[in-house]
Chains A and B, each alone.
Chain A
Amino acid sequence: MRREPVLNTLILLALLAVPLAAQALDEPFLVTLATKAAILALAGVGLNLALGLGGMVSFGHAAFFGIGGYAMAVLAAPVQAYEPLMTWPMDLPGTKSMPAIWLAAMAAGALAALVIGALSLRTGGVYFIMITLAFAQMLYYFAVSWPAYGGEDGISIYVRNGFPGLDTLNPLQFFGLCLGVLLLALGAMHLIARSRFGLALDGARQNPDRVAALGLRPARLKLIAFVISGAVTALAGALFADLNRFVSPSMLHWQTSGEIMVFVILGGAGRLFGPVAGAAIFVLLEHLLGGVSEYWKLFLGLALLGIVLFARGGLIGALAGRAVAHD
C-alpha cells in the first residue's frame, strides 16, 4: 500500500517528462501522443468512478465519449460556417471557447448518463453490461443515420478551439491544458472517494443490503456516480474531438467502449491512477506495435488475455500489491 503513492508520482512524472523531452528533441508527434494518452486517461477516470468504485460494469461509455465529441462539433461547426447555432426559441451563436464547450459537453454527458443509468440500473450484473452496450450502440446508429452532422463521415472542425490565455494550436500548450484537466479530475476523484458519498458508494458496491439498512438508497448513490462518470467521460470526448479536430460516429463505436474499459482494467480498476497507467500503456503499445505490424490488435488481444487470466488487479495491482479499492 505504501508503494502506490510512489508509483502514482512516477506515472505522473513520466507523463510530464515525455512531452518535455519530445519538445527538446523536436519530436512534436510524441507530444501529440502524450496528449492522446492524457485525454484517454481522463475518459478512463470517468469510467473508473462507475466501474471501480461503484461496481457498475458499463460497456457503453463510448456513448458519453461520443456525446462530448459531438457537443464540441455542434457548438463549433456553426462558427466556422458563419451561421447561428439556433434562431429559435432565441438567437444563440455557436462558440469556439473551450470552457463553454466543456460545460456543454459535461451537461450533455450527464443528461445522457441520467437517462441511460436510470433505465440500466433497474437491472444489474450481466444485464447491465449488455444494456449499456446496447444504448451506446443505439446512439452510434443514430449518429450514422442522422445527416445533420455528417452522418457516417463525421464532421471536421478546421481550427482548434481556444482557451483564454493559451495558444491551443501549440502542441505543448494544448498538452499542458489536457494534463491540467486530467489532474483536476484526478483530484476530484480522490476527494469523491474519501467523501461520505464515496464511502457510501463503495459500500453500495460491496453490500447494497447493508447500505440500504443504514437508511441510504444504493440505487440513487449508483445513479449519481454514473452521472458524474458520464460527465467526466464526455469532457474527455470534447478534448479528444479537439485533439483530432474531427468527430465521427467511431467515437461512439462499441470498440471505443471496450477500449475505455481496457484502460481502467489494464491499470487496475478502482485505483486512482489505474486509468492513467492503462491509457499510457495502451497508447504506447498502439504506437510501438502499430509500427511493427498492421495487425497490432492481435498482439494487444493476446497481451490483454494474458493480463486478465494471469495478472489480476492490473498493472498497479501487480506493482503496488493488493490494496483497498480506492487508495
Chain B
Amino acid sequence: MAGGPAPPAPPETRPLSAMLLIEQALNGLQYGIMLFLMAAGLTLVFGVMGLINLAHGSLYMLGAFACAAVAAATGSFWLGLAASLAAAAAAGALIELSVIRRLYARDHLDQVLATFALILILSEGTRWLFGSFPLYLDIPAALSGPVRLPGGIDYPLYRLALIGFGLAVAAGLFLLIGRTRLGIRIRAGEADREMIAALGVDISRLYTLVFALGAALAGLAGALVGALQSVQVGMGEPVLILAFVVIVIGGIGSINGALVGALLVGMTDTLGRALLPVAFATVLPPAEAGSVGAALASMLIYIVMAGVLVMRPGGLFGRA
C-alpha cells in the first residue's frame, strides 16, 4: 500500500507509548499525503470529464518503474523522479488521446471495462519489459537515515521529507486550481463543460492536460513511495482502491474532499493497525488480540467509509 508503515513486529508485544503514538501519527500523515496525490488526479478527472479511471493505479506503477529504471541507470534518484513525472504525464496524455477520449460520452460501465482492459495491458506490458521480479529503489543519500525530532523521537528523514514535499505539491495544486487561468478553466469545466466550449476554450486540449496532470501526480506518488517498498507489477491497484475510498469519503470531484479523505484514511489505517491490537490486548489473550486486532484494522477504513455513506451518501464535501 502507499507507503504504509511496515506492519509493526508482533503488535501485541509492543508497549503503547507516547513516542510510538507520535511516530505512527507521522506515518499516517505521510501515508495520507501520498494517497492525496493519487486521489487528486482521480477526482479531478472525474470532476472535469465525468470519467472513472481504473487505470490510474497503472500510472502510479509506471511512475515507480520509470524512477527505478532511470535511477538504476544514472545513479541519481532525482533524475529518476523527473523521469517518473515525465513518463507518467506522457503515458497519461497518450492514453487520453488514444483511448480515454472515446469514453467521455459512454456510460460508466464502458469506462470501467475499457480502463480495466488498460490495466491488463499496462500491467502485462510492464511485466514483459521488466520481468516479474520486483525492482528496488534506494532512498537518496541526502535523505537517508533518521532525524531527531523535538521530544527525542528518531524518525526516518525520508518519510519526513515526503510529508513536506507532498504538502508542497498539494499547496501548488490548490494554487494552480484556485489562482491560475488553467485552474479557472478546470473549475469552469467542472461546472459546465458545454458553456466553456462555447466560450472558445479548446475543451479537448483541456481534457488532455487535466488527464496528464492527474497522471503526473500519480506517477510522482508511485516514485516517492517506490523508495519505501519494492517496485513491482500490481503495486498500483491496492492504492487505486484506497484512492477510491478516499474520494468516496471526500465526495467525488472535490479536491478539498480528497485532501480531508486522504488524511482521514491514512490516519485511520495507520493508527488502527498500531492501536487496535493493543486495545484488544486489554480484554483478550495476547495472541488472539493480535489476530483480531489486525483483521479488524485491515477493515477499519472500509467501516469508516460505510459510516460516512450512511450519514452523507454524497461524501463529506459532495454536492449530492
Q: Point out residues on A near B: beta carbons under 8 Å.
A: 51, 57, 59, 119-120, 122-123, 125-127, 129-131, 133-135, 137-138, 141-142, 144-147, 254-255, 258, 261-262, 265, 269, 295-298, 300-302, 304-305, 308-309, 312
Contact = CB atoms under 8 A, between A and B. Distances in A.
Residue in A126, A131, A265 with the greatest tally of chain B CB atoms within 10 Å: A126
Given A125-B108, A295-B124, A145 B295 contact: yes
B125 interface: yes
Interface in B104-129: 108-110, 112-114, 116-121, 123-125, 127-128
A302 B112 CA distance: 14
B58 to A, nearest CB: 11
Interface string B277-311: 00000000000000100110011001101100110
A297 B252 CA distance: 31
B316 to A, nearest CB: 13
B233 to A, nearest CB: 11
A122 B244 contact: no
A119 B113 contact: no
- 5 closest residue pairs by CB, A with B: A301-B120, A298-B124, A138-B302, A301-B121, A304-B117
Contact of A262 (B110, B113, B245, B305): B113
**Main SS of the interface on chain B?**
helix
Contacts of A51: 109
Interface residues of B, number: 44
17 contacts: A130-B245, A131-B305, A134-B241, A137-B238, A138-B299, A145-B294, A145-B298, A146-B291, A258-B119, A261-B116, A295-B124, A297-B123, A298-B128, A302-B117, A304-B117, A305-B117, A312-B110
B212 to A, nearest CB: 20
Contacts of B241: 133-134, 137, 254
Given A129-B52, A308-B113, A295 B128 contact: yes
A255 to B, nearest CB: 8
Contacts of B120: 297-298, 300-301, 304
- Centre residue among B109, B116, B127 by max chain A CB count within 10 A: B116
Contact of A127 (B99, B124, B248): B248
Contacts of A146: 291, 295
Nearest to B315: A127
B124 A304 contact: no
Contacts of B99: 305, 309
B248 A141 contact: no
B237 interface: yes
A127 B43 CA distance: 12
Given A123-B320, A126-B46, A308-B117, 13 more contacts: A57-B109, A134-B245, A135-B302, A137-B302, A138-B298, A142-B299, A145-B295, A145-B298, A261-B112, A295-B125, A301-B117, A301-B120, A304-B113
B116 A262 contact: yes
Contacts of B315: 127
A57 B108 contact: yes
Nearest to B303: A138
B298 A141 contact: yes
Interface of B: 46, 52, 99, 102, 108-110, 112-114, 116-121, 123-125, 127-128, 237-238, 241, 244-245, 247-248, 252, 291, 294-295, 298-299, 302-303, 305-306, 309-310, 313-315, 320
Nearest to B241: A137
A296 B127 CA distance: 11
A121 to B, nearest CB: 10
A165 B281 CA distance: 50
B295 A131 contact: no
A305 B313 contact: no
B244 A298 contact: no
B102 A309 contact: yes
B244 A269 contact: no
Nearest to B128: A295
Nearest to A265: B113
Nearest to B244: A130
B309 A123 contact: yes
Contacts of A59: 112
Given A122-B310, A131-B248, A146-B291, A305 B118 contact: yes
B113 A122 contact: no
B117 to A, nearest CB: 4
Instruction: Tell me which of A125, A131, A141 has the highest count of chain B C-beta atoms within 10 A of its own C-beta.
Output: A141
B259 to A, nearest CB: 18
Contacts of B303: 138
Contacts of B112: 57, 59, 129, 261
